[in-house]
């Protein structure tokens, strides 16, 4: 509310949370980001759930108290690679690709844009793995209650952070270990034909952005999309004539023009 009250007369586009998938997974599953926890297969789902609840509460606050006067727009920024099956003729790879989308983009965008709840693909995978490992209790993926802020429709635009793409192969889960990796049971593969820039994970795949935008249009009811992050990291020392970056932006803009 402080931000809306203080800056709302000038700021017309708001992001409540940037990359909740990264915050939850890297902070509470992998222990790479703060707070550095590795509580496998449990806490990240709860953290993601609470971030969605917090976002919805902020959106409803803006909608009821500030929108009429300030006429701004509020969303949260989703990060996603483009995913496609390693073997397009393999049903297992196709299904694994669907899980990849559900566990990344769908985890947060599906409740906001589609049903108000998590993708059934995601919940089924988590519950099936829990049953296989003898995990007792309620689903590790929380459910929204009647007391929670209403989630569906709490975004005025679709904010997308896109950098790269991955091929997806079925398998790769840790069968006897409770974790997000075993829930997902899919392996991400780099296509050797994709050039790598300054970061080892960042394959340059401009056509992936075009395909992902089409996927968003078809899956999330054709929302207004803003690309809130995209870029290219340079190799070696800083160069003034950075032709690789020029080529990257030229190719990317051509794909979405």
CATH number, residue 216 = 3.20.20.80
Burial of residue 165, with CB atoms counted within 10 A of its CB: 0-12 exposed, 13-18 middle, 19 or more buried: buried
Q: Which two tokens stand for residue 227?
A: 């690309």
Instruction: Inform me whether the pLDDT recorded for 142 exceeds 90.
Output: yes
Q: Which helix (H) or strand (E) holds 85?
A: strand 82-85
Q: What average pLDDT does the segment 12-30 reach?
A: 99
Return the DSSP state at 15: E
Does the pLDDT value for residue 46 go beyond 90?
A: yes
pLDDT band of residue 6 (cuts 50, 70, 90) is very high
Range of weakest confidence among 129-138, 152-161, 219-228: 129-138
Describe the strand order of the beta sheet including 158-161 as a list of residue ranges. 13-18, 73-79, 158-161, 225-229
User: What is the rounded average pLDDT for all residues in the chain?
Assistant: 96
What is the average pLDDT across 204-213? 98
Catalytic residue among 39, 84, 100, 229: 229
CA pseudo-torsion sign 7, 8, 14, 18: positive
Q: Among the listed ranges 44-48, 112-116, 175-179, which one has the minimum average pLDDT value?
A: 175-179
| Residue range of the domain that includes 234 | 2-256
pLDDT at 13: 99
Selected residue with higher pLDDT from 146 and 10: 10
**What is the pLDDT, as a whole number, of residue 217?**
98
Number of domains in the chain: 1
Cα(45)–Cα(20) distance, rounded to whole angstroms? 11
Confidence of residue 143 (pLDDT cuts 50, 70, 90): very high
Single out the residue of 143, 120, 105, 54 nearest to residue 220, CA to CA. 105
Would residue 229 show up in a list of annotated catalytic residues for this protein? yes
* Predicted pLDDT at 176: 74
Cα–Cα nearest to 21, from 91, 122, 153: 122
């Amino acid at each position: 509310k402080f931000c809306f009250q203080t800056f709302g007369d000038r700021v017309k586009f708001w992001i409540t949370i940037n990359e909740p998938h990264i915050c939850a997974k890297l902070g509470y599953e992998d222990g790479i980001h703060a707070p550095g926890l590795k509580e496998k297969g449990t806490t990240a789902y709860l953290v993601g759930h609470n971030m969605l609840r917090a976002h919805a509460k902020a959106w409803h606050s803006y909608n009821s108290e500030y929108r009429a006067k300030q006429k701004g727009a509020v969303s949260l920024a989703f990060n996603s690679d483009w995913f496609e099956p390693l073997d397009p003729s393999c049903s297992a790879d196709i299904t694994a690709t669907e899980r990849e989308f559900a566990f990344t983009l769908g985890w947060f965008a599906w409740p906001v844009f589609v049903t108000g709840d998590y993708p059934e693909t995601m919940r089924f995978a988590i519950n099936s793995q829990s049953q296989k490992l003898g995990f007792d209790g309620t689903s590790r993926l929380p459910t929204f209650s009647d007391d929670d802020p209403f989630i569906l429709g709490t975004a005025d635009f679709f904010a997308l952070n896109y950098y790269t793409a991955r091929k997806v192969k079925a398998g790769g889960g840790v069968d006897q270990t409770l974790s997000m990796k075993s829930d997902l049971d899919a392996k991400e593969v780099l296509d050797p034909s994709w050039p790598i820039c300054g970061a080892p994970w960042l394959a340059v795949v401009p056509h992936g952005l075009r395909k992902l935008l089409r996927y968003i249009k078809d899956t999330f009811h054709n929302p207004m999309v803003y690309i809130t992050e995209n870029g290219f990291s340079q190799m070696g020392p800083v160069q003034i004539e950075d032709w690789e970056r020029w080529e990257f932006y030229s190719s990317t803009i051509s794909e979405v023009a």
